[in-house]
Structure 1
Amino acid sequence: MSSQHTLRIVAVVLAAVFVGVAVVCVGATLTAGWAAPVFPWLVPVGQPIVVTKEQYGTILVAQQVGRIAAAVAVVTGVAAVATAGAAVATRRRRPAA
C-alpha cells in the first residue's frame, strides 16, 4: 500500500468523522433550542423562556455537546483537507511511470 493510498484512506475517514460530528452538532443545536443556544448570536434578544429544572438540565447538556461537536468538526474538517492536500502533493511529486 503506497503512502498516497494511505493518505486518501485517512482523508476519507476524517471526512466521514466530520460529517458524523456535524450531524451531532446540528442535533444538539436543535435540542438546545432558544433556551441555551450552542451559537448565541442566533437568539433574538429579550425572548422569555419558561422550562422545568429537568428540561433546563437537558438543554445545558445539549448545549455543551453541541459546542464540543462543533470544535471537533472544525478540527476534523481541517485535518481532512490537509490530508487530502498531502495526498495530492504526494501524487504530483512522483514521476509518471
Structure 2
Amino acid sequence: MTNSALTLDVTPPGEPEFTIDVMADLESVNMDGTPEQNYDTAAWLRSLMPQDTPRVIVYDGAWTTHSELTHGATGDSLRHAAIKHDTPGWNANDPDLQ
C-alpha cells in the first residue's frame, strides 16, 4: 500500500495470513484479516494505547458496522457490541458519526 508508514505481514499458526497497514498520516490502521482476526488485532492494538486515549472505533471497510474500541476491550466484546449500520437510526444520537 503506497500510503502506509508500516506494513506487518502476520502469519498465525493454523489461520489465514493477513496484513496490518499503519497509514502514513497515522489516522488509520487497515487490516485485511478475517472479522475475528481484525477484532482481536484491534483489541490488542487498543491495549497498547493509554487508557485515556480519545474515542477510537473499529469498523469494516464497507462501513456496515462499527464498535467502540474502549480500554480493556477484547475481540469478543467488540464483536458482541458491534453496531450494525443497516439498523434505522443507528447513529441518531452520535454526532461524531453523522
- TM above 0.5, yes or no, is no
Q: So what's the TM-score if we normalise by structure 2?
A: 0.26
Q: Which has the higher contact order (CA 8 A, sep 6+)?
A: 1
**Larger Rg: 1 or 2?**
1
More strand by share: 2
**TM-score between both structures, scaled by the size of structure 1:** 0.27
